[in-house]
Amino acid sequence: MICFNSSSYERTEIVPFVIDIPIEYDKGSLKIFDLSDKEMEVQISKTENVQPVLEQMIDRPMFVDVKRYFGYLELKSIPPVGYKTFKIIPSDQKPKNEKIAKYNRGKLVLENEHLKNFKLTQTAHSTC
């Protein structure tokens, strides 16, 4: 996975993600590592089994069984007008990190020692 920072300053933030893992490789969870093998903080909010269609103009549609993971990832120190690359590895261990986002009355709330009662709407997005 590659995350691009189009701004002129270094960024650290929590971003939503959607990752598809083919069923034959899925182990029930996933871990994300940077290229120095440091495990990133991940919160998986939902999973579902889906069957997206892969299609090319010369072929007929092909259905693939995948587990789709929805969640949040804390990206740290993405360089200005630059990018960072991450490895996604299926895992049989659930993420051990504390929740970094939660739903409260239908709104996404992010709280930590620096940020309190910050609510995101469904239109919030990232460049990742």
Give residue 124's pLDDT.
47
Strands 118-120 and 107-110 come out as: antiparallel
pLDDT tier at 113, thresholds 50, 70, 90? low
- Please report the pLDDT score of residue 71 as a whole number: 92
Q: Is the pLDDT of residue 82 over 90?
A: yes
**CA distance linking residue 35 with residue 17, whole number of Å:** 18
Rounded (5°) CA angle 123-43-105: 50
pLDDT at 57: 65
DSSP output for 31-68:
EEEETT-PBPPEEEEEEEEE-PEE--TTS--EE--EEE
Rounded average pLDDT over 94-102 = 61
Please determine, for residue 127, whether its predicted confidence score (pLDDT) is greater than 50.
no
Higher pLDDT, 116 or 122: 116
Check whether 125 has a pLDDT greater than 50: no
Full set of structural domains in the chain with CATH: 2-96 (2.60.40.2210)
* Residue at 64: amino acid letter: V
Of 16, 23, 40, 39, nearest to 101 (Cα)?
Answer: 16
Confidence grade of residue 37 (pLDDT, cut at 50, 70, 90): very high
